[in-house]
Amino acid sequence: MLHQISLNGFMILVSLCLWLYLGCSSTHVLRSVEDTQLVQEIYNKSENRRAEIYLKDGKAFKAWKVQVKADSTTWLVEPYYRKQTLATSAVREVRIVDRGKGALLGLAIGAVPGFLLSILAQNCGECEGSMNVGFSMLFAGATGAIGLITGSVIGSKDIYEFSKLPVKTGDRSRSDSL
């Protein structure tokens, strides 16, 4: 019985890690550069974290301090923090990854189910008395550590899509949206 609970617990933990991978991202659609809240959010988040800028032609850049304006998007690139500028209409999306937030979410997603599974294992009929609170804490700590590592590797992603931005007259790039 204990072996079955451990196998079930492992399957649940794998499912939770998959959920962590898929669920720790937020997508924001930038419909206009006049949306000053999103434009400022992109700059603020990319000021201390590395951003990834994906262009419509498939190219990608690692960037810091991303500034979005009506006609151009500017960012700093490594090494030496050189400034780079491209037409905003050429940008498909900006992704900003926060590994600290991902680690905390992973810790919570791993520890809570691990603790609950260990309590369930303690209360099963055949296992009565074979486990104690120390085991629950150890199991919760182990699953929390797995979640912490997974969350820090994956990170929490904020994705800012530029595909809904209107195309300016005379601009050769087109919008991918219909």
* CATH number assigned to the domain comprising residue 72: 2.30.30
Q: At what angle do helices 2-23 and 133-154 cross, to 10 degrees?
A: 30
Please report whether residue 169 resides in a domain. Answer: no
pTM score over 0.75: no
> In the chain, how many domains are there?
2
Domain extent for 124 = 2-21+100-154
Instruction: Provide CB contacts within 8 A for 101, sequence distance 6+.
Output: 24, 155, 156
Instruction: Provide CB contacts within 8 A for 132, sequence distance 6+.
Output: 122
Residue 178 CB neighbour total at 10 angstroms: 3
Q: To which residue do tokens 């434009």 refer? A: 39
Given 91, 109, 129, the domain boundary residue is 91
At residue 146, the pLDDT reads 82
Residue ranges of the chain with pLDDT lower than 70?
Answer: 1-23, 118-136, 164-178
At residue 23, the pLDDT reads 56
Co-location of 137 and 84 in the same domain: no
Which pLDDT tens digit goes with each residue over 65-116? 999 998 899 999 877 779 999 999 999 999 998 888 888 888 877 777 777 7
